[in-house]
Structure 1
Amino acid sequence: MIHTGKFIVIEGLEGAGKSTAVSIVKSCIEQAGHSLICTREPGGTAMAEAIRECVKKDWQNETVTTEAELLLMYAARAQLLHNVIHPALAAGDWVLGDRHDMSSQAYQGGGREIPQALIQPLRDITLKGFVPHFTFYLDVEPSVGLQRARGRGELDRIEQLDISFFERTRARYLSLAKQDDNCVVINTMQPIESVHQDIQFAIQQFLAV
């Protein structure tokens, strides 16, 4: 499929400030004159949102297996790509995603320690080589991020996991970001004004290309 729009993704742990980053990047893209659609993962379509509820819900006495969690993530992603992202990009719209495939590689691959050999076939089936044009990884110490997340209210099933899970997830995020020339790492533990400035600078640099 030929795309004329651009796909920008914002990644990060809980409490990294993704919502604020989405707002800043959205404003810069729209000011540059581009039509923009915002998405979130898992979610973004009726079916994908139902899958999101399955993923985040505490199923009480039923254990959600790592395999089920992984498959649900890619099922939701398949729906979003086919029904929203690809059509929007083909029409020339830009898409700004709150999470995408890097999340699955970090959370399920890093945090859950699912081998890449098991994840890669799902990536091949779902993505077919499709990657974002630009990614922001908002980096935060897990303890800091989770403290911020608790300040927003009750934590979901994944947010309640042990700190070691998030430490593994962060380590995988940093590794993936280092390997991706189209990814910029934003230190969200610096003063908020500096965080905003770094985000604005990065998106403006991308827009200027």
Structure 2
Amino acid sequence: MIAPHPTRPGPGRFISFEGGEGAGKSTQIKLLSERLQAAGFRTLVTREPGGSPGAEIIRHLLLSGIGGLIGGAKAETLLFAAARDDHVQTVIAPALADGQWVLCDRFSDSTRAYQGRLGAVPPALLNALERVTIDGLKPDLTLILDLPAEISLKRAAARRGDSAPDRFESEGLEFHRGLRDAFRQIAADEPKRCALIDADADIDTVAARIWGAVRQRLLLALSDGTEPE
């Protein structure tokens, strides 16, 4: 077990959470943050699109569906890039430099899945925008919460209640099936960075699976002969 320490030394780590709508990312990112804090790590929970004042303004535009009015998936991609650049420069990079563990609800893989795979935005454009916005900054670990599209849509509907679905929740079943396939392909293409987490279970079971991945991929490398629980 890693004993709690209020100022545990070592570099910051960057963990992103990915997956379809209703996969449980918000719940699981909060649980992981609490567990890491109990082990003595300082954590910062953030999200995309958003996470910084400028990016939150762009988030509102994106989820309202403005991309469809001004150029479709390419326009959405450019808006995401602008939001990500602000988020990385003002929040993520400073926190990592300060030794914090940054837990981000979505990052560049979402752009590749939603706008790239499903929106048919060319890889060359995505690569060019990544060079500008993240400049090689990749998560140390990407946790992809995997869930059948039928279940994810039901969970998303239950979560929003009487509220109207946003731009992405309003897409049909085939879109969300394609989204799941896109994320599974990302996990297959980059197995060293990505961990595919079966999210078709209760909250505690999924949290245990996530902790197991974090423990194996990141925490054991930091331990001093003892292992985290």
TM-score between the two structures when normalised by the length of structure 2: 0.84
CA offsets 1:129-183 (integer angstroms, 9 cap, x no match) = 1100111000011121011101112310121012222222211111111122121
1:59-74 to structure 2, matched below 5 A, reads 59=66, 62=69, 65-74=72-81
1:170-181 to structure 2, matched below 5 A, reads 170-180=180-190, 181=192
Which runs of 5 or more structure 2 residues have no equivalent in the other structure?
Answer: 1-9, 222-229
Q: CA deviation at 1:12?
A: 0.8
Identity level (%)? 37
Instruction: Find the aligned partners of 2:152 and 2:203 in 1 and give their Cα distance.
Output: 14
For 2:47, which of 40, 43, 52 is the aligned residue?
40
Cα RMSD, aligned residues only: 1.9
- State the partner residue of 1:17: 24
Instruction: Find the aligned partners of 1:72 and 1:152 in 2 and give their Cα distance.
Output: 26
Instruction: Find the aligned partners of 2:14 and 2:73 in 1 and give their Cα distance.
Output: 28
Q: CA deviation at 1:83?
A: 0.4
Aligned length: 207
What secondary structure is seen at the aligned counterpart in 2 of 1:161?
coil
Q: CA deviation at 1:64?
A: 5.3
- State the partner residue of 1:198: 209
Instruction: Find the aligned partners of 1:64 and 1:25 in 2 and give their Cα distance.
Output: 37
Instruction: Find the aligned partners of 2:117 and 2:151 in 1 and give their Cα distance.
Output: 19
Residue 194 (structure 2) pairs with residue 183 (structure 1): yes
- State the partner residue of 1:137: 144
Is the contact between residue 77 and residue 126 of structure 1 (CA under 8 Å) also seen in structure 2? yes
Which runs of 5 or more structure 1 residues have no equivalent in the other structure?
Answer: none
1:63 to 1:79, Cα distance in 2 relative to 1, 3 A: closer
